[in-house]
Amino acid sequence: MSEDFYDVLGVSRDASEDEIKDAYRKKATEYHPDVSDDPDAEEKFKKIKKAKEVLTDEEQRQAYDRLGHERFEQADKRGGFDGGAGNGRRGAGGPFGGMGGMGGGGSDFEDFINQFFGGGGGRGRSQSNRPQQGQDLQTRLTVDLEDAYEGISKELTYTRPEHCSDCDGSGHPPDADVRTCPACNGQGQQTTVQQTALGRVQQTQTCRRCGGEGELYDEECSTCNGDGIVRAEKTVSVDIPAGIRDGQKVRYDGGGAPGANGGPPGDLIIEIRIRDHEQFERDGDNLYLQHAISFPQAVFGATVEVPTLDGTEDLSVPSGTQSGETFTVDGAGMPRTRRRGHGDLHVQVQVVTPDDLNAEQREALEAFAEAGGEEVEVNEGFFEKLRNTF
Ligand SMILES: [Zn+2]
Ligand SMILES: [Zn+2]
């Protein structure tokens, strides 16, 4: 598709406004992302819409014809031919022409506008109709420690405001009759003059009647009740990086509220919560685990298999290990997010006291005690007591 707005709509350079609107309706139906199979439909639809906006706005069209596509686009990017209704439209010759500047901030773009439109219109309004990014939305997502270990892509369903697709966010059916807002005479803004001790003070504010659009429609979109916005359930796939910590946030670009005047949507900010794990405790990149070993393993030393978040690791326990001693398995902790590698796994061993000895084991243990010079009088509570000390 050519970039030129006339080509985009397939109309001649001297096409009337009605011809342009007709062409837009046909193209829009063809390329509406909801109905078109064309993979580039959304992009094309945006171009069609933009072309229609510019070419049905007398002042914008004049500027477009005069500047050519490229220079117009540059100027547009700098600040705001975009935003459709009200921006310079009908304004320059109206009773408020030339007064809008009171509210304006004096940007390059406004100077630019004034250069081409003789100082009328644009100012002030170009502020409110400038493309604005939508708001960020916040939500939470809870994952398992295993997910945080591996990194995971998780589906998340949430509700967000979206442009109403039935009216393409305009709030009215595309064929609704339109008239100039009588309250602001199509300016989109109203100027009030107050007499104060210091003299006359002019104030310019967005027209309440038309919400700054400068025009009123005889019909509202029934889907969104004229808001142009509907609440829609949205499912997105969120990439959670390996090693993420509880409370960290992930940004999903473009998942927020829609922008105004063609501005980009905000983002979705997802706070990640991590469920407590049955076995592992986490501190930063390190993991902590309690692991049982037998009395002979503690006495003689052994290689024991300990669980990790993605399998098992061998841990060498030296002879003479005391219950409660901690050993480290290097690199078996959480992945580090800012540098390579993993944290460590710290294993605290618990020596398990046997409580169901058979006769042979009992005899051997008594012999063990006596060999150490201990008087052994075995009673029922002995093992029970021993166990309770751990
Ligand atoms: Zn609607
Ligand atoms: Zn108005």
Rounded to an integer, what distance in angstroms lies between the CA atom of residue 244 and that of residue 282? 12
- What would the mean pLDDT of 65-91 be, rounded to a whole number? 63
What pLDDT, on a 0 to 100 scale, did the predictor assign at position 126?
41
Ligand nearest to the CA of 214: 2
Q: How far is the CA of 237 from the centre of ligand 1 (A)?
A: 27
CA angle 245, 248, 253 (to 5 degrees): 130
What pLDDT, on a 0 to 100 scale, did the predictor assign at position 388?
56
- What would the mean pLDDT of 122-142 be, rounded to a whole number? 74
Window from 10-24, 141-155, 363-377 with minimum mean pLDDT: 363-377
| Position 379 pLDDT exceeds 50 | yes
What pLDDT, on a 0 to 100 scale, did the predictor assign at position 152?
94
Window from 27-31, 317-321, 362-366 with minimum mean pLDDT: 27-31
Tokens 């909801």, located at residue: 34
| Position 100 pLDDT exceeds 50 | no
- What would the mean pLDDT of 15-35 be, rounded to a whole number? 81
Q: How far is the CA of 205 from the centre of ligand 1 (A)?
A: 26
Q: How far is the CA of 339 from the centre of ligand 2 (A)?
A: 57
pLDDT tens, position by position, 41-75: 788 888 888 898 889 888 888 888 888 888 888 87
Q: How far is the CA of 206 from the centre of ligand 2 (A)?
A: 8
Ligand nearest to the CA of 221: 1
Q: Which of residues 195 and 135 earns the better pLDDT score? A: 135
Q: Which of residues 104 and 146 earns the better pLDDT score? A: 146
Confidence of residue 108 (pLDDT cuts 50, 70, 90): very low
Q: How far is the CA of 81 from the centre of ligand 1 (A)?
A: 24
| Position 265 pLDDT exceeds 60 | yes
What pLDDT, on a 0 to 100 scale, did the predictor assign at position 89?
34
Q: How far is the CA of 75 from the centre of ligand 2 (A)?
A: 26
Confidence of residue 90 (pLDDT cuts 50, 70, 90): very low
The proportion of the chain whose per-residue pLDDT surpasses 90, expressed as a percent, equals 41
| Position 85 pLDDT exceeds 80 | no
Contacts with 333 (C-beta within 8 Å, 6 or more apart), sequence order: 285, 286, 287, 342, 343, 344, 345
CB burial of residue 388 (10 Å; 0-12, 13-18, 19+) = exposed
State the chain's mean pLDDT as an integer: 81
Confidence of residue 116 (pLDDT cuts 50, 70, 90): very low
Ligand nearest to the CA of 217: 2
Rounded to an integer, what distance in angstroms lies between the CA atom of residue 149 and that of residue 366? 47
- What would the mean pLDDT of 175-182 be, rounded to a whole number? 89
Residues lining ligand 2 (ion), CB within 5 A? 181, 183-184, 207, 209-210
| Position 362 pLDDT exceeds 80 | yes
Q: Which of residues 40 and 287 earns the better pLDDT score? A: 287
Query: Among 25-39, 46-60, 130-144, which range has the highest average pLDDT?
Result: 130-144
- What would the mean pLDDT of 352-358 be, rounded to a whole number? 87
Domains and their CATH numbers in the chain: 84-274 (2.60.260.20), 281-389 (2.60.260.20)
Ligand nearest to the CA of 226: 1
- What would the mean pLDDT of 250-270 be, rounded to a whole number? 91
Tokens 């809008």, located at residue: 100
Residues lining ligand 1 (ion), CB within 5 A? 164, 166-167, 221, 223-224
Please give the helix or strand (H or E) that residue 348 lies within, else none.
strand 345-352
Confidence of residue 380 (pLDDT cuts 50, 70, 90): low
Q: How far is the CA of 188 from the centre of ligand 2 (A)?
A: 5
Confidence of residue 239 (pLDDT cuts 50, 70, 90): very high
CA angle 56, 47, 39 (to 5 degrees): 145
Contact 258, 309 (CB under 8 A): no
Query: How is residue 210 written in tokens?
Result: 């038309």
Cross-strand pairs, 163: 229
pLDDT tens, position by position, 269-294: 999 999 999 999 999 999 999 999 99
| Position 250 pLDDT exceeds 90 | yes
Query: Among 27-41, 163-177, 307-321, which range has the highest average pLDDT?
Result: 307-321
**Helix boundaries (H) for the chain:** 5-9, 17-31, 41-55, 58-79, 108-117, 125-128, 145-150, 295-300, 359-371, 381-388
Window from 109-123, 220-234, 314-328 with minimum mean pLDDT: 109-123
Ligand nearest to the CA of 89: 2
